[in-house]
Amino acid sequence: MNLENIEAFVFINHYGSFNKAAEVLYLSQPSVTARIQSLERELNCKVFDRLGKQIQITEEGRRFLPYAQQILMTYQKGKLHTNQKKSLPEELRIGSTLSVSNYIIPDLLPRLKDRFPNTHFKLITGTTDEIIHKVINKEADIGFIRNVSHPNLQSVKFFEDPIRLYVYEGHPFLSETRLTIEEIAAQPLVFFECGALDWLRIHRIFGNLDRPPNIQFLVDNSETAKKLVMQKAGISFLPSQSVKEETREGKLIPIRLPDTEGISLQTNLISCHGKHSLFFTAISEFGKELNARKETLVASIG
């Protein structure tokens, strides 16, 4: 069946006129008439009754109409999807904070490459403010940032990474059933500061103590923090994603504390409004998988 004949049928029914349909389709009126005649031969029935200058859809035409509309809609969707694929950029520039670059991007990029094999990926690492600036100024296409919103950007929650207290193998806390904040504050602490508001909640759990926590090391990246813990220089509150390998190997062990339940480091996915929607959707789906795995891990620890 000829798609152009179906298109003429749907347009004539919509506009109620052969002439108007011909005008919209950039065709002559005889060409539109010829298409309807061809369709009627294919269907072996009339789809319109001509009453002078007026037309009326027939009962057979009315029954065929929803199928014709569905055929056109399916074609248009397929055409749009094909054109989107063709218009995918040769290079996608991804801006990312350091933690996402270290612990999420290595899992994400191979999946994106499988899904978009003709696109190359360039990673740009920076602070949240730097990534926002680059996306707004078209220096990056998509960004991973802390939980910050901006009116010029679309932003969705990508991943929530629980912040927990981690200790090294053989630490005395592993034999304790219940710990107090005072006991934790007395331990040598390695504090990883990343500038996110959620870290203020970690500080607040020590706020009512008579003495300040025993912070021995203050570092600005999680890699340094976790290595200090593994060297038994102290214990530390860390995002779980940054220590997943060490936790799996038993080198670092999470300690569950009621005071820190619900504290997490939120990462958002950003882009300019309406841009790179296929990539944005694919990355969002990966974020949902990460969050689902996190829930499973939390349940096993609990």
CB contact set of 129 (below 8 Å; sequence gap of 6+) = none
Does residue 69 sit in helix, strand or coil?
helix
Structure tokens at 258: 């009621």
Mean pLDDT value of segment 240-263: 90
Q: What does the pLDDT read at residue 170?
A: 94
Residue 121: its H or E element: strand 120-125
DSSP 68: H
Q: What percent of the chain has pLDDT over 90?
A: 51
Q: What is the CATH architecture assignment of 89-302?
A: 3-Layer(aba) Sandwich (3.40)
Domain ranges for the chain, please list them.
3-86, 89-302
- The CA–CA distances, whole Å, from 155 to 89, 129, 254 equal 21, 14, 31
Looking at domain 3-86, its CATH class is mainly alpha
Burial of 219 (C-beta count, 10 Å sphere; 0-12/13-18/19+): middle
> What is the Cα–Cα distance from 149 to 302, expressed in whole angstroms?
32
> What digits encode the pLDDT tens for the residues 121-165?
999 999 888 999 999 989 999 999 988 777 778 889 999 988 999
As a whole number, mean pLDDT of residues 221-249 equals: 93
* Structure letter (DSSP) for residue 241: G
> CA of 87: how far to CAs of 13, 83, 154, 264, 277, in Å?
34, 6, 21, 37, 12
**Per-residue pLDDT tens digits for 108-117:** 999 999 999 9
The whole-angstrom separation of Cα 196 and Cα 135 is 20
Q: Using one digit for the tens of pLDDT, what is the confidence trace for 53-107?
A: 789 999 999 999 999 988 888 887 676 566 555 556 789 999 999 889 999 999 9
* Contact (Cβ atoms closer than 8 angstroms) between residue 158 and residue 283: yes
Q: What does the pLDDT read at residue 233?
A: 96
Rounded Cα gap, residues 53 and 222, in angstroms: 78
Distant-in-sequence, close-in-space partners of 108: CB < 8 Å, separation ≥ 6: 283, 286
- List strand residue ranges (DSSP E) for 147-260, in order: 153-168, 189-192, 215-219, 235-239, 252-255
